[in-house]
Amino acid sequence: MGGTTHFGFERVAEEDKPRRVAAVFESVADRYDLMNDLMSLGLHRLWKRFAVALAQVRRGERVLDLAAGTGDLTRLLARAAGPEGRVVAADFSRPMLARGRDRLLDEGLAGLSWVQADAERLPFADASFDCVTIGFGLRNVTRKERALAEMHRVLRPGGRALVLEFSHLRLAALRPLYDLYSFAVLPRLGALVAGDAASYRYLAESIRVHPDQRTLEAMMREAGFEGCEHHNLCAGVVAVHRGWRA
């Protein structure tokens, strides 16, 4: 039998978590983009641009965007790679992936493909990509160490990985206000806009049980990455981690 893991603050069987995470994103897919704008006051767009700038994608490169969702990072990466490059958008959730595919097909970007995939078991050959990104998805993965190892495996030597994720607020004085927003305001906003308070309560809880900045940096090193570093945004509400495959 498998062990248990976090689903927010709840402990669940490891084999049960993927199903429950999939149900969350199936529920919120139609309102996902609107909720991102509302709950971050649009700041998520700046966070994603910062992550793509750190990715240093060059024209003609091959890029894998994990947890691609509705395609915000994928779009930016495709523009950086240009029509000569190839960007693969992968996501565990079929409804999220379909929504992102529909959005980006309408924009006529070249070199894009879409794959439904589990980050712990990527269906790609070793050393397939110059860059791998995962935006706001790692905290939903059951075995994060396996996902990081898979990201390392599919990178070419000299390739880099970027993890954009909610993290741990560094300013203690702001934590009571942040907690009030996370556990009182956010679920109510989810109920009002997306008709789903529970999924946004899970979002807040999943952030609290996600590894902090230093721990995630250490996990990347354990997965084989070198030169690991992180950049805090908004006092650590969000962090971007970067590492290279030697």
- Structure confidence at residue 107 (pLDDT): 87
The share of the chain scoring above pLDDT 70, in percent, equals 100
- Structure confidence at residue 208 (pLDDT): 96
Q: Given CATH 3.30.70.940, say whether it is the number of domain 4-244.
A: no
Summarize the confidence of residues 122-150 as an average pLDDT.
Answer: 98
**pLDDT tens digits, residue range 172-224?**
999 999 999 999 999 999 999 999 999 999 999 999 999 999 999 999 999 99
- Structure confidence at residue 77 (pLDDT): 98
Tell me how far the alpha carbon of residue 84 is from its chain's centroid: 25
pTM above 0.75, yes or no: yes
Pairs from 213-217 (Cβ < 8 Å, separation ≥ 24): 213/167, 213/168, 213/239, 213/241, 216/138, 216/163, 216/165, 216/167, 216/241, 217/241
Summarize the confidence of residues 146-158 as an average pLDDT.
Answer: 98
pLDDT(1) > 90: no
- Structure confidence at residue 190 (pLDDT): 95
Q: Which residue has the higher pLDDT, 117 or 2?
A: 117
pLDDT tier, 126 (very low <50, low <70, confident <90, very high otherwise): very high
